[in-house]
Amino acid sequence: MDKLRSMEVFVTVVDVGSFTAAADLCNISAVMVGKHIAYLEELLGARLLVRTTRRQSLTELGLQYADQCKAILAQIRDAESGAARLRGGARGLLKITSPVTFGSELLAPAMVDFLATYPEMRADLDLNDRLVDMVEDGFDAAIRIGKLEDSSLIARPLQAYRMMICAAPSYLQRKGIPRVPADLIAHECLDFLHWNKHVRWRLTEETSDIPVSRLRSNNGQALKSAAVAGFGIVMQSELLLAGEVAAGRLVPLMEAYVPAPRPMHLLYPRDRQPTPKLSAFIEFMLDRFGLKTNSM
């Protein structure tokens, strides 16, 4: 039997004073009422009610258990009504800005589930690798990768953003396999236009003078395509390259030298109470992409 349902039946019996009246309110038979009570008594290993031909009364345990059941059922009703209020209030347009790769590969598919859960909501998803002023541009929330600047925004940590270094088998056959960062000086290392020019491919001090690539782009998808075509070595997000690696079109390189994972955060304004639509999105993002803790 369902424990919560049995608790509801038991509380109803206590409130109305008889199995017959409780049966009418619970829309079940008096026999089924007795089965629910018997189930709880077996579960607890003690009697809850003492019945005679004229009346029924609670045992000492029954009295205590009835109070606890009422408190538990009240908490469940509060939780359900709170969720209903949030779901009912989550409506309107939500404007989100995100880096291109995370937004296209993970966030856009996740938004399908989010909008299915909240049918009265709409979403504008702006994918941009440049840093935008989310408050000035009217965004409700932003995804940011990397170290955060001091700001008035609330930052909620998400799972780290991991990188990979890869090249196509055809490129490696033609140019050889780089084993250590210093080897990259002799290779075509595809450049991402939004990288800091002082960082680029600087995996160690030995790789500070890698020539600028003959092909640069502000789009990770474009660099991935060039790498798959055999033009050079690409360093981009693991989530962007993992599929090509699994298919054998790209080969991971120098895994011991890949830059450390970068922090990723969900940002939203601090200076106002989150609206129901924003609260719903925050909860969804933390559930889908939040930091996972190992349970003992």
Q: How confident is the model at residue 235 (pLDDT cuts 50, 70, 90)?
A: very high
CA dihedral 185, 189, 192, 195 (to 10 degrees): -20
pLDDT of 203 above 50: yes
| Strongest mean pLDDT among 12-26, 201-215, 236-250 | 236-250
Work out the mean pLDDT of the chain and round it to a whole number: 87
DSSP β-ladder status, 216-217 and 141-145: unpaired
Where is average pLDDT lowest: 108-122, 201-215, 238-252? 201-215
Which has more confidence, 95 or 218?
95
Looking at residue 296, its pLDDT comes to 36
Where are the chain's structural domains? 3-88, 90-161+262-289, 163-256
| Average pLDDT over every residue of 163-180 | 95
Q: How confident is the model at residue 195 (pLDDT cuts 50, 70, 90)?
A: confident
pLDDT of 276 above 90: no
Which has more confidence, 295 or 73?
73
**Are the C-beta atoms of residues 253 and 167 closer than 8 Å to each other?**
yes
**Are the C-beta atoms of residues 127 and 219 closer than 8 Å to each other?**
no
The architecture in CATH of the region 163-256 reads: 3-Layer(aba) Sandwich (3.40)
| Strongest mean pLDDT among 61-65, 148-152, 242-246 | 242-246
How far apart are alpha carbons 6 and 23 in whole angstroms?
A: 12
First to last CA, the chain: 29
Q: What is the DSSP string of 165-181?
A: EEE-HHHHHHH----SG
- pLDDT cut 90: percent of the chain above it: 44
Look at the domain 90-161+262-289 and name its fold: D-Maltodextrin-Binding Protein; domain 2 (3.40.190)
How far apart are alpha carbons 142 and 133 in whole angstroms?
A: 10
- Selected from 2.120.10.70, 1.10.10.10, 3.40.720.10, 3.40.1390.10, the CATH number assigned to the domain covering 3-88 reads 1.10.10.10
Q: For every residue of 101-114, which 3-state class applies, written as one string?
A: HHHHHHHHHHHHHH
Same topology, domains 90-161+262-289 and 163-256? Answer is yes
Which has more confidence, 14 or 125?
125
Whole-model pTM: value is 0.61
